[in-house]
A and B are shown apart, each in its own frame.
Chain A
Amino acid sequence: MEQLNAWFTELLSDNAIFTANTLGYYLDGLGSTVRLVFLSLIIGLVLAVPLAIARGSRRKWIKWPVFLYTYVFRGTPLLIQLYLIYYGVVFIEGIQDTFLWAILKDAFYPALIAFTLNTAAYTTEIFHGAIKATPRGEIEAARAYGMSRALMMRRIIMPSAFRRALPAYGNEVIFMLHASAIASVVTIMDLTGAARFVYARFYAPFDAFLFVAAIYLCLTFAILYLFRYLEKKLLAHLKPLNG
């Protein structure tokens, strides 16, 4: 540890920008980014499953509201959604006096809400597409076994739909990580916020943003690896036998 510390000090001794202090900002930023992206993806995923089923419903009053929701959130930029939720809500008369204000006052929760709603909309569409692509034969076979719709959904359609959706969902996770870079416009000190802070403090855009780009690359690599592992496990049955 001491050796590592000495090596680190040696490494940093020649530059004015990447001191322990600014690296601390980047580390805090990494924490905020991971927390924000992870939470919004988990909540978005939980929301997206029932929404995707509702989206494929035959009843119009269930189907259309979900379509409207995904259409609006996929049809507008995330930055605008974030602005509307962060700056827009304060113009609702008397919101400062309600219990909601305790949540909306902090910048983290408005951002979390915007990111969650956005990723839930995309994930809903991904799952909906995967559900729709279920081979007819599987459904007919399930029916022949006398399964109810709910049972069929649980045992046949959803498991195979999840597998089919996996590669597309992996992309959505990476997009979400990159989209989270806009959180800094509402004062959240995420990775990009830290980079902008260092840039503004030292007037060194190249150093500040190159460093943060490297961190994003590492995060993306970790996500890619995780999804490749999952695909290998879950989609093993689709691979050619002696491939």
Chain B
Amino acid sequence: MKKLLALTLLGVVMTTATAQARDTDEVRLAIDVPYEPFVYRTPAGELEGFEIDLGNELCKRANLDCTWVEQSWDGIIPGLLSRKYDAILSSMAITPERENQVLFSIPYYNTPSVWITRRDRDIDISDKDALEGLSVGVQRGTIRDSYVTQMYGDTLDIHRYSSSQDVANDLMSGRLDLSFEDYPLAVDTFHFKDDDSEFKKIGESIKKPVSIFGKGAAMAFRKRDKALAEKFNQAIRDVYADGTYEKLMKQYFDYDLSLPVGEK
């Protein structure tokens, strides 16, 4: 009798163990909190934000049972590799260095950059001849610096600053004619959306070329988890295709940070 009980118990233990091992439908996603409006905590303690909504939507499509794991940024890749969680969904930009360590999904967003000038100025950014001799302020060493250096190096007079506030001061004083800035940062520094702002945005927002602006932010997986990455890739394509992505995006942003699939 005792033997039988022991065997049954052993059986139960073994079946649950195998069941757990086989249950790959459970996926733990790591995220660095907060990064508004991508992710933040409500006063009630709930996680909210664009990436939380997007992640939950992707899991629903891929038929996965997802849980969120909070992880600070500097340990986020080591945590993935040591199996503390199965994927990172935390505004991680694709870089060659990171590609050596992790497997990236297709990118799901990239913040655009934007041209700013004074409200009383009338500048046509697409007319290269008219730009001759104008001055532009950028933050030193950023991708915006690279962009204007490569694209407008022989047209515009490029001034490099340490902070975007200094750029705003000189744009205000008339030392600069233009600034080229990261969109969310420009909203904070130049307040160009407010009616009483001294500044305005001109031309289209810019996210290309990939060689300068990067591929964008993507989910990261362990290199061997190709099947899991493929599930999420498909889910990302789906949310783009049926407009869910745009709906979510408009809930949090009033500018376009989408990266339509297949576009290079």
Flag if A87 contacts B141 (CB, 8 Å): no
Flag if B174 contacts A105 (CB, 8 Å): yes
Shortest distance from the beta carbon of A32 to any chain B beta carbon, whole Å: 13
Contact residues, A154-186 vs B (CB, 8 A)? 185
Flag if B174 contacts A96 (CB, 8 Å): yes
Flag if A105 contacts B140 (CB, 8 Å): no
CA distance A96 to B175 in the complex (A): 9
Flag if B160 contacts A197 (CB, 8 Å): yes
Which of B142, B172, B174 has the most chain A CB atoms inside 10 A of its CB? B174
A62 touches B (CB below 8 Å): no
B61 touches A (CB below 8 Å): no
Contact A90:B169 (CB < 8 A) given known A196-B140, A199-B141, A200-B140: yes
CA distance A107 to B175 in the complex (A): 9
Shortest distance from the beta carbon of A196 to any chain B beta carbon, whole Å: 6
Shortest distance from the beta carbon of B145 to any chain A beta carbon, whole Å: 8
Which of B141, B146, B161 has the most chain A CB atoms inside 10 A of its CB? B141
Which residues of B lie under 8 Å from residue A196 when comparing CB positions?
140-141
Closest residue to A203 on the B side, CB-wise?
B141
Which residues of B lie under 8 Å from residue A200 when comparing CB positions?
140-142, 145
The contact size tier of chain A is: 10 to 19
Which residues of A lie under 8 Å from residue B160 when comparing CB positions?
187, 189, 193, 197
Which residues of B lie under 8 Å from residue A201 when comparing CB positions?
141, 145-146
Contact with B along A198-214 (1 / 0, CB 8 A): 01110000000000000
CA distance A197 to B161 in the complex (A): 10
Shortest distance from the beta carbon of A39 to any chain B beta carbon, whole Å: 21
The contact size tier of chain B is: 10 to 19
CA distance A196 to B162 in the complex (A): 9
Which residues of A lie under 8 Å from residue B166 when comparing CB positions?
87
Shortest distance from the beta carbon of A126 to any chain B beta carbon, whole Å: 33
Flag if A90 contacts B140 (CB, 8 Å): no
Shortest distance from the beta carbon of B170 to any chain A beta carbon, whole Å: 8
Contact with B along A68-111 (1 / 0, CB 8 A): 00000000000000000001001000001000010001010000
CA distance A49 to B161 in the complex (A): 37
Closest residue to A201 on the B side, CB-wise?
B141
User: Which DSSP category, helix, strand, loop or mixed, fits chain B's interface?
Assistant: mixed
User: Which DSSP category, helix, strand, loop or mixed, fits chain A's interface?
Assistant: helix
CA distance A105 to B162 in the complex (A): 18
B159 touches A (CB below 8 Å): yes
Closest residue to B142 on the A side, CB-wise?
A200
CA distance A201 to B147 in the complex (A): 12
CA distance A193 to B170 in the complex (A): 18
Contact residues, B153-187 vs A (CB, 8 A)? 159-162, 166, 169-170, 172-175
Which residues of B lie under 8 Å from residue A193 when comparing CB positions?
160
Which of B140, B161, B172, B174 has the most chain A CB atoms inside 10 A of its CB? B140
Which residues of A lie under 8 Å from residue B173 when comparing CB positions?
87, 90, 96
Shortest distance from the beta carbon of A22 to any chain B beta carbon, whole Å: 12
Shortest distance from the beta carbon of A158 to any chain B beta carbon, whole Å: 42
Closest residue to B160 on the A side, CB-wise?
A187
CA distance A87 to B176 in the complex (A): 13
Shortest distance from the beta carbon of B214 to any chain A beta carbon, whole Å: 14
Contact A197:B140 (CB < 8 A) given known A105-B174, A107-B159, A185-B162: yes
Contact with A along B196-223 (1 / 0, CB 8 A): 0000000000000000000000000000
Contact with A along B49-71 (1 / 0, CB 8 A): 00000000000000000000000
CA distance A187 to B140 in the complex (A): 9
Shortest distance from the beta carbon of B19 to any chain A beta carbon, whole Å: 47
Shortest distance from the beta carbon of B154 to any chain A beta carbon, whole Å: 14
Which residues of B lie under 8 Å from residue A101 when comparing CB positions?
174
Closest residue to B135 on the A side, CB-wise?
A105
Closest residue to B175 on the A side, CB-wise?
A105
Which residues of A lie under 8 Å from residue B140 when comparing CB positions?
196-197, 200
Shortest distance from the beta carbon of B166 to any chain A beta carbon, whole Å: 8
Interface residues of A (CB under 8 A from B): 87, 90, 96, 101, 105, 107, 185, 187, 189, 193, 196-197, 199-201
| Complex A-B: 7 CB contacts under 8 Å | A87-B169, A90-B175, A107-B159, A185-B162, A193-B160, A197-B160, A199-B141
| 10 closest Cβ pairs, A-B complex | A200-B141, A90-B173, A187-B159, A200-B140, A201-B141, A96-B174, A105-B175, A87-B169, A197-B140, A187-B160
Besides A90-B169, A196-B141, 10 other A-B contacts (C-beta < 8 A): A87-B173, A90-B173, A96-B174, A105-B174, A185-B162, A196-B140, A197-B160, A200-B141, A200-B142, A201-B146
